[in-house]
Amino acid sequence: MTQDSQTSPTSSLNVLQQLVKHRSHGSSIGRTMGMIAVAAERGRIQIEARPDDRHLNPLGMVHGGFAATCLDGAAALALFSTLDATDQYSTVDLAIKYVRPLQPEAAYNVEGWLVERTRSLAICDADIRDKGGKLYARATATLMIKAESVS
């Protein structure tokens, strides 16, 4: 990718930086999960996530699916920040380690970063930490890339 495509108004990185600038959820899943992008650079994304009563299991605890969705989203957006806005990608594997339970209404930092990328696959890591830096969950994702120019 050339420098021009990284900074063009339609680059994926520019799209993410606009979400950060406007503190936007960016999509319906972002609204549903209470996630807001707070920083983006090439190959890295930082999201703030706040589970609420929509994310609780029958025992009143934050469902593990909340963490899984946040981790998958952060990993995918880290890859997205390196792609052309028209390139498609999809998670093919997500391995999660849950360290401690998330608490309702608490704010968490979710960070995703690109570890390695080939033409058709990427490995991204992501973690969830509280505002003090304590680890709550960590994931590694494998994502498939289908570039617009690839059939």
Beta strands in 23-134 (DSSP E): 35-41, 44-49, 88-98, 108-117, 121-130
Query: What is the pLDDT at residue 109?
Result: 97
Domain residue limits at 50:
3-146
Is residue 82 within 8 A of residue 115, CB to CB? The reply is: no
- What whole-number distance in Å separates Cα of residue 140 and Cα of residue 53? 27
pLDDT per residue, tens digit, the chain (151 aa), is 444 444 555 676 666 656 666 565 556 566 677 888 888 899 999 999 999 989 999 999 999 999 999 999 999 999 989 888 888 999 999 999 999 999 999 999 999 999 999 999 999 999 999 999 999 999 999 999 997 654 3
Tally of domains within the chain: 1
Within-domain flag for 138 = yes
pTM, to two decimals: 0.84
Within-domain flag for 106 = yes
Within-domain flag for 78 = yes
Within-domain flag for 21 = yes
Is residue 117 within 8 A of residue 56, CB to CB? The reply is: no
Within-domain flag for 151 = no
Residue 104 maps to which CATH number? 3.10.129.10
